[in-house]
Amino acid sequence: GDSVTQMEGPVTLSEEAFLTINCTYTATGYPSLFWYVQYPGEGLQLLLKATKADDKGSNKGFEATYRKETTSFHLEKGSVQVSDSAVYFCALFPGGYNKLIFGAGTRLAVHP
Amino acid sequence: SQTIHQWPATLVQPVGSPLSLECTVEGTSNPNLYWYRQAAGRGLQLLFYSVGIGQISSEVPQNLSASRPQDRQFILSSKKLLLSDSGFYLCAWMWGENTEAFFGQGTRLTVV
């Protein structure tokens, strides 16, 4: 079945460091891919998305490129801030009457 | 605009007591609706999803159940709570393909 695999956390970085959170997926067809962020005590918010191969989603300095050849959607940011500390979830949606599938989440802690 | 309401925000219940969590969506028709659970330190686990009134798909066999009595209402229930039911419960909705999921603020359930 369809699935999402994320790198395990926690990821601990100093402010202004480069961030990469790996995400790979397994799916039949052509799913849409998402990154969601969960700040402490809150629900999830969409961070960025990509709907077809080679699309690049971007928001708030974060980027991720839909790579069909490697079935990946890695999240990157060039310079993280303390306010980026949160849990990040990679997700896929196969489309139609189907379920939204999440990875296990990666906790990011950024220290000043 | 579309909004999603989830309540209560926090709940403490004794073992063996019943549970009812409610989620309602405004501003859209015939959404896909989802219940997720996030146990402490763990990722998102899909519990139930629904593509229409009275249509419920269960992902994990357990003592929880879900119902969709109206198009924009999704209810999570249990007849007798277990300690292992503690967690953060999130309701979400999506509509159409290639669109983002919108999450409620979540309910933190502690079973004591």
Per-residue pLDDT of chain B (112 residues; tens, 9 = 90+): 668 899 899 999 999 999 999 999 998 888 889 999 987 766 788 899 998 999 999 988 688 999 999 999 999 999 999 999 999 999 999 876 656 788 998 999 999 9
Q: Quick check: A53 contacting B, CB < 8 Å?
A: no
Q: What is the Cα–Cα distance from B73 to B104, expressed in whole angstroms?
A: 13
Q: What is the dihedral of CA B32, B9, A44, B91, to 10 degrees?
A: -10
Q: Quick check: B92 contacting A, CB < 8 Å?
A: yes
Q: Quick check: A49 contacting B, CB < 8 Å?
A: yes
A7 contacts in B (CB within 8 Å)? none
Tell me the sheet residues that pair with A92.
A33, A101
Q: Are A99 and B57 a contacting pair at CB < 8 A?
A: yes
B59 contacts in A (CB within 8 Å)? 99
pLDDT digits (tens, 9 = 90+) for A51-110: 999 999 999 999 999 999 999 999 999 999 999 999 999 999 887 667 888 998 999 999
Comparing alpha-carbon positions, the chain B residue that sits nearest to A43 is B105
Comparing alpha-carbon positions, the chain B residue that sits nearest to A102 is B44
CB A91 within 8 A of CB A102: yes
Comparing alpha-carbon positions, the chain B residue that sits nearest to A97 is B51
**In the predicted structure, residue A2 carries a pLDDT above the cut 90:** no
